[in-house]
């Protein structure tokens, strides 16, 4: 951070200096780029063993080890309890069940005696929860059990506390369990001592109901449609839409005979969606993985780190100590592409144990390594993302582009003589450039990474939202833009003062300012996370680079620099996407025919869902249509970033052309970017071994850029992502500075001259850029599953009320300032409640904000009485002198 801090300080000095200090400013930019280059150009890490790194922890304090122990983590301590083994000589002794509890803490790295279980027991299921390790079922030499209990580690007294939980509906052993939220799901297992008692059971226990004993019990869910089974894996993971439960592999037995033809060794995979309460079959595992260790990894992978096959299953008694052990091979299943691949060799294959997440690592405690033989070894497995140098050619392309953007800002600096030049470009911007700028502003880097990742994970349903932009363009070109041109507004919120009062104007302007500061931070942080996989830059370094360069060219060049860089960035954005789509389809097995077939089989071209559920992750068509119309109406009527561009052309006719330019660009762009996501799906379904479990879903396109794109082209497309982010950031900086100067300074005559306001505009642009960049660093959060969804919610939380104020003012004659303020406050409260207390899809936030603001505002205005008589040019009824009323 010292490099970054010193760079920011030198930039601040350069921006505050006279025009002659611009060469020094360029030297400051170069120092920032050089410092990032030096810290980011790290050496290549190669590992022939793949992305899994295995290390040994202290072994269990039992020389034999155990099969079937309960295992989990609580209060940062690993708990291993119970289990069974064969005393030596293993082929001459009977199996022995155990009741000992062992605890390993991070602090001292030594195993502690945790006491004993209520009885010797093994082969149950276990899951880690915030309250402790829930141990489920199990057996001993005589019977299976239906008991469930909690093991909690008290670090102060260094003791294990045991708590009884509700019993299972039936005794169950050799099953597996997982959790989604506060609910435990248990699948498979056998109810008796023999495998022929294997079940198709699927039960759940909601831990959130502990406080209500009459409701705190196991529930029967729809049974798994596949065969009955035991020794299966049960793992939860996100499938692109929802968190789901996956039941994998296992074995079963017909009748009492141990003849080989009485056994089924299963490879099937079943997915259960709790939100829909439905099962569907997925791609079979490459081989039987019975009694294996499975665990979720990243946002969409399941790792199987061990498991037994049918090979040599019937030769155990014959081979005995000559048995080679279970095959040392691991696998990865990707839930979105529904594909399997090998994950590398393993130092050992421990079966009949439980894979336990501990921090960022996976623990494999003890287990069986070959028939009758256990191992006391405990493995810590971590995932490493292979890194590669970005390459000097890519760096040259990237930094040349970024420096060119700064040069454009400097070139336009001499044209800014007053705030009209700085905020409106002197009304000399060509209509097509203004249209491209609106397009770049509305789409941003979230288009380049968020939409492809959304289409990769889901389908084309969200594309309908973009097709609503031409509908909003009609309103923008025929109603909104003439309003603002008529009052010659620099700030969109000047209208609110003319229509209502200064208080409403300040409320609207303040809301917009907060929205765009947060928008800047969200865009930079999410883009930084996405770029972290495409370049050696960390997310924080990418945020700094985007922020610093945007601050420079936006602060110096004003709106004209922003619009022309937006226009260039539009070309880079679209050109890079076209090239990437072509390379992706060419890389799919079978080319374009394989692309269409692969995507079609998994329903990736679905364009509409027909239902009435407002909370469903498979968003309904009506939610998309209503939400998109509301979002776009708010953006085109109440967003200063868009309204400001209406004012940069010479007249209304040219401004209308700019609006339609944006609307028409949206159609091919939507097809392109959703198609890009579908092509990513088809490519990685053809090549699942090229997926990386360490990345987020939003990083899927940057992963392709980093690993698959030709040198130089990768640098250009990364530049496109930077470009798209900078377009949004620079727009937010300039537009927010516009509202602050126009709405909070000019009405109160804070500056004495036009030059004073111009200087204030530059200072505010710089300050907002710094604030947004710092917030962007704070907001870096790799846990976000979809930056597209996150951004939709941010838009809804702020723009719903703003859009509501403009619609209330323009569409009614009876609305007044009192009603508008009440409506805005109620609307903001509704937005907060939707966000905090409901699971309503974020796409409806804006529509809800508009409806509540307009509805409450209009009723409150009627109760308060009319307070403004002259509405000429301020409503749709009086814009042309009409006497209509409502």
pLDDT tens column, 582-597: 999 999 999 999 999 9
Query: Helices (H) and strands (E) in the chain — how many of each?
Result: 23, 28
Q: What is the pLDDT of residue 131?
A: 96
As given in the structure block, the two tokens for residue 5 are 């801090």
**Contact call for residues 647 and 489 (beta carbons, < 8 A):** yes
What average pLDDT is seen over the chain? 85
Please count the other Cβ atoms lying within 10 Å of the Cβ belonging to residue 513: 23
* Number of C-beta neighbours around residue 280 at 10 A: 14
Average pLDDT over residues 127-137: 97
Range with lowest mean pLDDT among 96-100, 332-336, 674-678, 844-848? 844-848
Three-state SS letters, 185-240:
EEECCECCCCHHHEECCEEEEEHHHCCCCCCCCCEECCCCCCCCEECCEEEEEECC
DSSP-assigned beta bridge partners for residue 271: 246, 280
d(CA 103, CA 113): 6
Fold of 52-383: Neuraminidase (2.120.10)
Alpha carbon dihedral 369, 374, 375, 380, in 10-degree steps, equals 60
In the prediction, which pLDDT does 539 show?
Answer: 86
In angstroms, the Cα distances linking 33 to 4, 54, 231 are 10, 37, 55
Q: Which of the four pLDDT bands, split at 50, 70 and 90, describes residue 514?
A: confident
The separation between CA 475 and the C-alpha centre of its own chain, rounded to angstroms, equals: 33
Q: What percent of the chain has pLDDT over 70?
A: 87
Please state, in angstroms and rounded to a whole number, the distance separating the CA atoms of residues 671 and 446: 15
Residue 524 has pLDDT above 70, yes or no: yes
Taking the C-alpha atoms of residue 237 and residue 244, their distance in angstroms, rounded to an integer, is 6
Local structure of 511: helix, strand or coil = helix
Of 342-351, 385-394, 557-566, the range with the highest mean pLDDT is: 342-351
What is the predicted pLDDT for the residue at 26?
46
pLDDT beyond 60 at 25:
no
Q: What is the pLDDT of residues 241-274, one digit of tens each?
A: 999 999 999 999 988 888 888 899 999 999 999 9
Residue 95: count other Cβ atoms within 10 Å of its Cβ. Answer: 14
Distance CA 432, CA 438 (A): 10
pLDDT at 120: 97
- Here the tokens at position 10 are 């030198």
Q: Which is more confident, 430 or 625?
A: 625
What's the pLDDT band for 881 if we cut at 50, 70, 90? very low
Q: CA 701, CA 457: separation in Å to the nearest integer?
A: 12
Domain ranges of the chain: 1-46, 52-383, 393-487+505-781
Q: How confident is the model at residue 883 (pLDDT cuts 50, 70, 90)?
A: very low
Q: What's the pLDDT at 134?
A: 98
Q: Is 814 helix (H, G, I), strand (E, B) or coil?
A: coil
pLDDT: which is higher, 218 or 633: 218
Name the DSSP class of 590. T
Q: Tens of pLDDT along 695-749?
A: 888 889 988 988 888 888 888 888 878 877 877 787 788 788 888 988 899 888 8
Q: Decide if pLDDT at 45 tops 50.
A: no
Share of the chain above pLDDT 90, in %: 49
* Longest CA span, the chain: 103
Strand 243-253 vs strand 132-136: parallel, antiparallel, or unpaired?
unpaired
Q: What is the DSSP-derived secondary structure letter of residue 648?
A: S
Query: 841-879 in b/e burial notation, b at 16+ Cβ within 10 A?
Result: bbbbbbbbbbbbbbebbbebbeebeeeeeebebbbbbbb
Name the band, by pLDDT with cuts 50, 70 and 90, for residue 388: low
* pLDDT of 111 above 90: yes
Residue 41: band (very low, low, confident or very high) from pLDDT cuts 50, 70, 90: very low
Residue positions counted in the chain: 886
pLDDT of residue 808: 92
Q: What's the Rg (C-alpha) of the chain?
A: 31
Nearest residue to 820 via CA among 559, 496, 517: 496
Tens of pLDDT, residues 414-459: 666 556 656 665 567 787 777 777 787 676 667 778 889 999 999 9
- Please compute the mean of the pLDDT values over residues 801-816 and round it to a whole number: 90
Q: What value does the mean pLDDT take over residues 36-53?
A: 50
| pLDDT over 90 (residue 60) | yes
Domain 393-487+505-781 fold:
Sodium/glucose cotransporter (1.20.1730)
- Closest residue by Cα to residue 217 from 163, 173, 167: 167
Residue 567: the pLDDT is: 79
Of the listed ranges 58-72, 123-137, 742-756, 790-804, the least confidently predicted one is 790-804
Q: What pLDDT score does 168 carry?
A: 98
Segment 389-410 shows an average pLDDT of 80
Alpha-carbon gap, residue 251 to 267, rounded angstroms = 9
Is-contact 191 172, C-beta < 8 A? yes
Measured CA to CA, the distance from residue 442 to residue 169 in angstroms comes to: 54
The CA distance from 347 to 23, in Å, is: 58
- Model confidence over 858-869: pLDDT tens digits? 999 999 877 666
pLDDT at position 783 over 80: no
């Amino acid at each position: 951070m010292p490099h970054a801090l010193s760079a920011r300080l030198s930039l601040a000095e350069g921006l505050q200096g006279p025009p002659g200090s611009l060469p020094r400013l360029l030297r400051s930019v170069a120092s920032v780029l050089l410092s990032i280059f030096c810290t980011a150009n790290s050496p290549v890490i190669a590992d022939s063993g793949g992305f899994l790194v295995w290390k040994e922890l202290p072994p269990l304090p039992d020389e034999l080890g155990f099969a079937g122990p309960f295992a989990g983590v609580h209060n940062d301590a690993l708990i291993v309890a119970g289990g069974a083994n064969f005393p030596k000589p293993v082929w001459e002794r009977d199996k022995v069940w155990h009741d000992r509890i062992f605890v390993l803490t991070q602090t001292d790295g030594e195993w502690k005696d945790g006491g004993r279980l209520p009885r010797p027991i093994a082969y149950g299921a276990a899951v880690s929860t915030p309250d402790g390790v829930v141990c489920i079922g199990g057996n001993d030499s005589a019977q299976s059990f239906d008991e469930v209990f909690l093991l909690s580690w008290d670090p102060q007294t260094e003791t294990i506390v045991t708590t009884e939980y509700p019993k299972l509906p039936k005794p169950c052993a050799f099953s597996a369990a997982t959790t989604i939220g506060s609910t435990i799901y248990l699948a498979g297992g056998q109810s008796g001592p023999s495998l022929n008692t294997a079940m198709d059971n699927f039960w759940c226990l909601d831990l959130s109901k502990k406080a209500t004993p009459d409701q705190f019990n196991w529930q029967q869910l729809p049974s798994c449609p596949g065969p009955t089974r035991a020794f299966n894996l049960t793992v939860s993971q996100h499938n692109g839409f929802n968190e789901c439960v996956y039941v994998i592999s296992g074995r079963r037995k017909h009748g009492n005979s141990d003849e080989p033809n009485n056994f089924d060794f299963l490879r099937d995979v079943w997915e259960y969606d709790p939100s829909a309460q439905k099962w569907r079959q997925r791609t079979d595992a490459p081989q039987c993985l019975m009694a294996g260790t499975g665990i979720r990894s990243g946002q969409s992978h399941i790792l199987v780190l061990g498991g037994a096959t049918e090979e040599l299953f019937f030769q155990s008694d014959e081979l005995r100590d000559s048995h080679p052990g279970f095959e040392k091979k691991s696998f990865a299943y990707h839930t979105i592409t529904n594909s399997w691949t090998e994950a590398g060799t393993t130092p050992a294959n421990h079966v009949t144990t439980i894979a336990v997440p501990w921090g960022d690592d996976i623990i494999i405690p003890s287990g069986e390594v070959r028939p009758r033989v256990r191992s006391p070894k405990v493995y810590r497995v971590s995932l490493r993302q292979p890194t590669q140098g970005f390459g000097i050619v890519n760096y040259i392309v990237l930094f040349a582009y970024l420096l060119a953007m700064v040069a454009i800002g400097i070139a336009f600096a001499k044209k800014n003589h007053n705030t009209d030049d700085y905020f409106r470009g002197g009304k000399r911007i060509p209509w097509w450039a203004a249209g491209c700028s609106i397009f770049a502003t509305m789409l941003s880097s979230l288009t380049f990474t968020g939409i492809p990742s959304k289409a990769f994970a889901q389908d084309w349903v969200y594309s309908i939202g973009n097709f609503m932009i031409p509908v909003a363009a009609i309103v923008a070109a025929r109603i909104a833009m003439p309003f603002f041109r008529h009052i010659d507004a620099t700030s969109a919120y000047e209208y609110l003062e003319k229509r209502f009062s200064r208080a409403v104007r300040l409320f609207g302007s303040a809301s917009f300012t907060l929205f765009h500061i947060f928008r800047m931070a969200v865009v930079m942080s999410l883009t930084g996370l996405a770029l972290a996989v495409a370049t050696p830059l960390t997310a924080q370094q990418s945020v700094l680079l985007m922020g610093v360069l945007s601050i420079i060219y936006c602060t110096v060049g004003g709106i004209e620099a922003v619009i022309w860089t937006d226009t260039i960035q539009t070309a880079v954005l679209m050109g890079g996407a076209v090239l990437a789509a072509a390379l992706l389809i060419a890389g799919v097995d079978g080319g374009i025919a394989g692309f269409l077939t692969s995507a079609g089989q998994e329903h990736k071209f679905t364009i509409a869902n027909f239902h009435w559920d407002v909370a469903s992750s498979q968003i309904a068509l009506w939610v998309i249509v209503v939400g998109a119309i509301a979002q776009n109406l708010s953006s085109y009527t109440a967003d200063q970033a868009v309204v400001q561009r209406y004012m940069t052309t010479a007249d209304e006719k040219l401004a209308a052309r700019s609006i339609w330019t944006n609307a028409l660009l949206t159609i091919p762009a939507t097809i392109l970017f959703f198609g890009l996501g579908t092509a990513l799906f088809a490519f990685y379904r053809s090549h699942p071994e090229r997926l990386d479990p360490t990345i987020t879903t939003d990083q899927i396109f940057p992963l392709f850029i980093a690993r698959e794109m030709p040198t130089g082209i990768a640098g250009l497309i990364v530049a496109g992502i930077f470009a798209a982010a900078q377009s949004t950031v620079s727009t937010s900086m300039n537009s927010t500075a516009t509202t602050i100067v126009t709405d909070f300074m000019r009405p109160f005559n804070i500056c004495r001259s036009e030059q004073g306001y111009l200087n204030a505009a530059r200072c505010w642009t710089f300050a907002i850029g710094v604030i947004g960049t710092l917030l962007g660093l704070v907001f870096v959060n790799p846990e976000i599953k979809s930056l597209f969804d996150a951004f939709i919610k941010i838009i809804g939380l702020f723009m719903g009320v703003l859009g509501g104020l403009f619609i209330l003012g323009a569409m009614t004659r009876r609305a007044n300032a009192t009603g508008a303020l009440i409506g805005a406050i109620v609307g903001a409260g509704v937005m907060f409640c939707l966000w905090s207390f409901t699971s309503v899809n974020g796409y409806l936030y804006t529509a809800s904000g508009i409806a509540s603001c307009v509805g409450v505002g209009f009723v409150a205005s009627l109760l308060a009485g009319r307070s403004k008589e002259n509405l000429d040019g301020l409503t749709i009824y009086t814009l042309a002198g009409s006497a209509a009323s409502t």
